[in-house]
Chains A and B, each alone.
Chain A
Amino acid sequence: MSTQDEVATERSRTVDSAMVPRQFVVTASRRDTRDTRTLELRALGDEPLAFGSGQFTMLSAFGAGEVPISISGDPTRPEVLQHTIRDVGGATRALVAASPGTMLGVRGPFGHGWQVADGRGSDIVFVAGGIGLAPLRPAILEVCADRASYGRVSLLYGARTPEDILFGPDLRVWARDHDIDVEETVDTGPHAWRGRVGLVTQLVARVAFDAAHTLALVCGPEVMMRYAAQALIHCGVTADRIRLSMERNMKCGVGLCGHCQLRELFLCVDGPVLSYDRLEPLMTRAEL
């Protein structure tokens, strides 16, 4: 067999294994908001799923379907696979309804993650919108675990209403125990809400960071990420130091099917995390 054939055979084996779901059992299910739950999963009789922050898996509820879901757990504890899932119907409804003991299928982990360690020695600005905080959570935990290696750390978080704020206890712990400047805002809030009402991008100018030595990690709806990137650039952060987690219709997870194509990029392998200097020309093109 030629070297070329061996490479092709190895690639085929890799792809085959990536296409076969592993069985995981739900060990806990926690309600985060009215439509969002976090599931804890353990691999069934197999080694745990090591992952990097920002990666995703293809998660399947048998008989209901398979969807890409970002990992929201702690990368230093791969034995517990955490996924935070919003019920938007179909497969996600079945996943959110999965109770402890339910078997789920997991493929992955896939994709290029946050690579937050690149920010060691710098200030870090996390900007999250809505359920976009879930894919950022592993990176935040990574920073918390090695807090002394980073400068000032800020987390700017926007949600639709106070009831939609994710990981409330985590936000308090990160602020109190890990010296993270946590700023929250909501689109609309009742009079009882004592925090901010406004757009998350408005918070960028309110927190202290050294723009020349800052790594910004942004996750949320695409329009929000674009505005957040523009606000960060306005404050002096360069586009190559702003990373966004993109979302498209991931299917195969290994760059073959093309469902997640964004012009020359396959987001399931080239992304989901990419720097804004690569994304900017693509994000302002309609229907890409």
Chain B
Amino acid sequence: MRTISEYLPEHPFFRGLDERWIDLVVGCAANTHVYPGAYLFREGGPADRFFVVRRGRVTIETSTPTGSIVLDTAHEGDVVGWSWLVAPFRWTFDARATEETSLVAVDGACLRGKCEADPELGYALLQRVVQTMSDRLQSARARLLDLYGNRS
């Protein structure tokens, strides 16, 4: 497996970031491995990290009185979590591994500090996080339309 400093610069989320900023992100990152059923985070908990899935599958879930519902899944290459950058820095959903999953965990509090010290880095990361949020929002809105029920 490639090291984090080899892997992150090639990842679409980080592609194009200045090399010195990549080094800062790498300085806040660590490899982690979780087993099926393990939660990466729980709704309401402190959003102090975000994750890049290197291998495996993660479900984004929310709890209802009749059980949890899977809202989205994340797979190899996906970025999980944006609440680390948005006050009040609390997770809005649960995230759980459903198979053995390898991830890069990035310390959000560490990165926030670096973003505040270097607004250019903050803006570059914000652009990427907003893109992720925009993709999720479009997906959620389109699925609200229940499109597949309508074509005969």
Contact = CB atoms under 8 A, between A and B. Distances in A.
A223 B151 contact: no
B148 A199 contact: no
A164 interface: yes
A227 B70 contact: no
Given A130-B147, A198-B73, A227 B142 contact: yes
A247 B148 CA distance: 14
A132 interface: yes
A158 B148 contact: yes
B151 A130 contact: yes
A30 B38 CA distance: 41
Contacts of B73: 195-198
A251 to B, nearest CB: 15
Interface of B: 12, 57, 59, 68-73, 75, 77, 98-99, 135, 138-139, 142-143, 145-152
Given A187-B143, A202-B139, A227-B142, A197 B70 contact: yes
Contacts of A205: 12
Nearest to A219: B151
A178 interface: no
20 contacts: A67-B152, A92-B152, A129-B147, A129-B151, A158-B148, A160-B149, A164-B148, A187-B146, A187-B148, A188-B69, A191-B59, A191-B68, A196-B73, A197-B72, A198-B73, A199-B143, A201-B142, A206-B77, A220-B147, A220-B151
Nearest to A183: B75
A231 to B, nearest CB: 10
Please report whether the interface of chain A is mostly helix, strand, loop or mixed according to DSSP. mixed
**What bracket does the count of chain A residues touching chain B fall in?**
20 to 34
A265 B77 CA distance: 42
Interface in A171-209: 187-191, 193-199, 201-202, 205-206
Interface of A: 67, 86, 88, 92, 129-132, 158-160, 164, 187-191, 193-199, 201-202, 205-206, 220-221, 223-224, 227, 247
Nearest to B77: A206
A273 to B, nearest CB: 15
A92 to B, nearest CB: 6
Contacts of A247: 151
Contacts of B98: 191, 194
A223 B148 contact: no
B70 A191 contact: yes
Contacts of B57: 194
Contacts of A202: 135, 139
Given A129-B148, A220-B151, A221-B147, A199 B139 contact: yes
A249 B135 CA distance: 32
A70 B59 CA distance: 36
